[in-house]
Structure 1
Amino acid sequence: MATKTTGHQLADILFPEAREQQDFADGILSVPPEQRKLHTETYDFTVETIVEKLNDESIFIPHFQRRYVWTEPQASRLIESLIIQCPIPVIYLNQENDERLSVIDGNQRLTTIRRFVENQFALKGLTAYPELEGSRFFELDPRFQRHILNRTLRCIVILKDTHPQVKFDVFERLNTGATKLTPQELRHGLYFGDLMSLATAVAKESEFLSLLEIKNDKRMKAEELVLRFWALNSDFDKYRKPLASFINAFSEANRRLTPEQQGEFRKSFKETLEAVKSLLGDMTFRIFDRAFNVESSFNSALYDALMVGVAQNLASGKLSLMPTKKAQLLLASLIENDEQFRRAISIATSDESQVRYRVNAIRKLFAN
């Protein structure tokens, strides 16, 4: 008999953001106390210097940042604030390994300033200086031009020797846009490199998006699931919660990959996914009973149990090949009859004991 959904499980479904916030908090607590400090330097860059740095990409907008969305009246008010010497909010930058600075918070402001200095829009909707309405930068009196270019913006740079999880936590704290970035969108920007590019490509190549019924993966859910498998499969015995921090550490350690490593990662995901699909067919990653009533069309905890458990059997040569119907009934029986497995895919799913139990249960279920 299927287990009844508890109030705690229902809350996790209805309020997922609260769980994510707890994951961030747990992530910081997993860092040794002496490494939780944020290492920063403060710079006052002139507008002219910032535009130069944006153009030579020594300051750059990373992949996870939202596209430019400000209207011309919004942009014009920022330029007017520069003219009247109104304080501009602090810009937060991240020091990359190659010494360049990526923008954490301030994309809209910096892009607006560059666009105006490069004559890409005219001032509109001004309140303090309506006399400048309709003017582009080159049309302003040279004294106004110099005044704008000489204004300074306070920039706080998070140095590269800051612990990666502390950086991730700061990114999340500064993530206050109308549409908040998901943990994977933040991770994609913070650890962008060979691994992230490969995860995006593999999700498309393997037809994983169609399996998840995702037409346009704007929030990078499929990419996160690919990374989740690679992290757990590569370092299963070293897994420690929270899962988000574990994936972060894996992403940082594998940011740069050789062609051979990329080939191994690509092969492991594709072969494992094909094996799981061969076993479970149209019930892949679904929670269902022996009458084939589907309770959940996708469960991420069941996903990593199946992927990692099957991958371990493939690696040891012990994967049991069987008719799909038989495999489906075996999994349905496990879900219905093993209360501990049911809890492992439903409650506190990132706990070490829960992760290990569900993966080992699947490995034994489909072993010779």
Structure 2
Amino acid sequence: MENLKYSLSSLQEKAKERTVKTQSIEYDIETLIKKIERGIIKLDPDYQRRHRWDEKTSSRLIESLILNIPIPTIYISQDVDVDSETEEFRFSVIDGQQRLTAMFNYLKNKFALIGLEALEELNGCYYKDLPPFLVRRLEERSVKCLRIDSTIDSQVKFDIFERLNSGSVKLEAQELRNAVFSGKFNELCKRLCTNSNFRTLLQIDPAYPDENNRVKKMEDVEIVLRFFTLINNNYENYKKSKDRGFTDFLSETMKNYATINDIELAILKEKFEVTFEIINRDFGPTAFAKFKNDQGKLKLQSKYNVAVFDALAISCHDLIFNENIKEFSSHKEDFANLFLQEQFYESISGSYLDITKLKYRIEKVKEILR
């Protein structure tokens, strides 16, 4: 208690800085849809998270709205920019993007209701098929929104996402970063994850990328971010502590590149594309596969492993651009034989984010690829 008394002023200042200013508002669904159409409410799934609700989940929400069953509050952030014609503030969705997308898609006749139990007679009905009294009920249904002051620090905004992250579909770390650290670098990461060599190496079917769980949860974008975080020997700067883990290390990269210019962006893009083109060319589509020692022979455990990704992708980049080594095919067998070594296998297994393991696996691969 004595220590607390001496730090009261500091505590009061911190509490003041991190207090979030909010305002409750209610919109009927018809108004919400119009605001989304006009871009007043930004509902591009690329901004926040990739839409992951299936039509059954979306249908149950519509059923709840028709029956006037309460739904969770939508959290929105008032952006700084103002619409020059209407002078209306623009809003970004902090929590509730899945719900708003389901409402918007249904009122735009993008799916028919399925899996309803209370109103099973409506199964198979598009919005245009609803009787007029249900159309009115749905359009006039009010939805509670909580507007959050846009001037808050990005880290506070990140905290809000995490504290609201209690829904049935968990927000992943990269989905949080995507919403909090929007900007040119974030957009670059999202574009690069569609690179054909990258997708091949991550075992993402180019014909059906949206069906892959890594894509649904934005793990592919996080892996791009992981690449940019660890290259140029930056893995040596990773220092895990009680309050700081690898997730924070990745978020620091987003912060550091927040003001990146177009020339720097172009350089990052080129280095990424060249690196994965060479890896695919010299090691093949299963370059990031994990093997184990089975009585002196290699036994495949998985076709993609993120720790193997660290070891090979970061090594190749640093050797290509820092040591001017552009060809690795002659070392393909040497790389494969690393999996027969107990210490290397341990470095890609278990608590693979251990600092010692992270450094060891990257430096060991650099050693054999030189």
Q: Give the TM-score normalised by structure 2.
A: 0.67
**Residue among 162, 185, 188 paired with 1:195:** 185
Unaligned runs of 5+ in 1: 1-32, 127-132
Match of residue 297 from structure 1: 303
**Residue among 100, 103, 116 paired with 2:90:** 100
Query: How many residues are aligned here?
Result: 315
Are the counterparts in 1 of residues 298 and 339 from structure 2 also a CA contact under 8 Å? no
CA distance in structure 1 between the partners assigned to 2:166 and 2:90 by the alignment? 24
Shift of 1:363: 1.9
Is 1:41 aligned to residue 35 of structure 2?
no
Q: Alpha carbons of 1:79 and 1:357: their partners in 2 closer, same or farther (altered >3 Å)?
A: same
* Residue identity in the other structure for 2:350: I
Cα shift readout 1:100-140 (whole Å, capped 9, x = no counterpart)? 3222333465567778999999xx978xxxxxx93358868
| Equivalent residue runs for 1:208-219 within 5 Å | 208-215=198-205, 216-218=208-210, 219=214
Shift of 1:176: 4.6
Is 1:329 aligned to residue 333 of structure 2?
yes
Are the counterparts in 2 of residues 92 and 158 from structure 1 also a CA contact under 8 Å? no
* Residue identity in the other structure for 1:59: I
- Deviation larger for 188-197 or 352-361: 188-197
Are the counterparts in 2 of residues 94 and 102 from structure 1 also a CA contact under 8 Å? yes
| Equivalent residue runs for 1:66-81 within 5 Å | 66=51, 69=55, 74-75=61-62, 77-79=64-66, 81=68
Match of residue 3 from structure 1: none
* Residue identity in the other structure for 2:153: T
Cα shift readout 1:220-279 (whole Å, capped 9, x = no counterpart)? 233322221012115444334422222223224435654322321121112222333454
Q: Secondary structure at the match of 1:100?
A: strand
Are the counterparts in 2 of residues 313 and 319 from structure 1 also a CA contact under 8 Å? yes
CA distance in structure 2 between the partners assigned to 1:245 and 1:254 by the alignment? 14
**Residue among 313, 335, 348 paired with 1:345:** 348
Are the counterparts in 1 of residues 201 and 280 from structure 2 also a CA contact under 8 Å? no
Q: CA RMSD in A?
A: 4.2
Shift of 1:177: 4.8
* Residue identity in the other structure for 1:359: I
Q: Secondary structure at the match of 2:92?
A: strand
CA distance in structure 2 between the partners assigned to 1:207 and 1:353 by the alignment? 29
Q: Greater relative contact order (Cα 8 A, min sep 6): structure 1 or 2?
A: 1
Match of residue 131 from structure 2: 134
Q: Alpha carbons of 1:194 and 1:337: their partners in 2 closer, same or farther (altered >3 Å)?
A: same
Shift of 1:155: 1.0
Q: Secondary structure at the match of 1:204?
A: coil
Shift of 1:300: 0.6
Match of residue 86 from structure 2: none
CA distance in structure 2 between the partners assigned to 1:262 and 1:329 by the alignment? 34
Q: Alpha carbons of 1:38 and 1:346: their partners in 2 closer, same or farther (altered >3 Å)?
A: farther
Cα shift readout 1:46-85 (whole Å, capped 9, x = no counterpart)? 438756643433322242153684666743542553xxxx
Match of residue 238 from structure 1: 237
Is 1:161 aligned to residue 167 of structure 2?
no
Q: Percent identity?
A: 25
* Residue identity in the other structure for 2:74: I
* Residue identity in the other structure for 1:239: Y
CA distance in structure 1 between the partners assigned to 2:164 and 2:285 by the alignment? 41
Are the counterparts in 1 of residues 335 and 369 from structure 2 also a CA contact under 8 Å? no
Unaligned runs of 5+ in 2: 1-12, 82-88, 120-129
* Residue identity in the other structure for 1:202: L
Cα shift readout 1:22-48 (whole Å, capped 9, x = no counterpart)? xxxxxxxxxxx9599463423334438
Match of residue 15 from structure 1: none
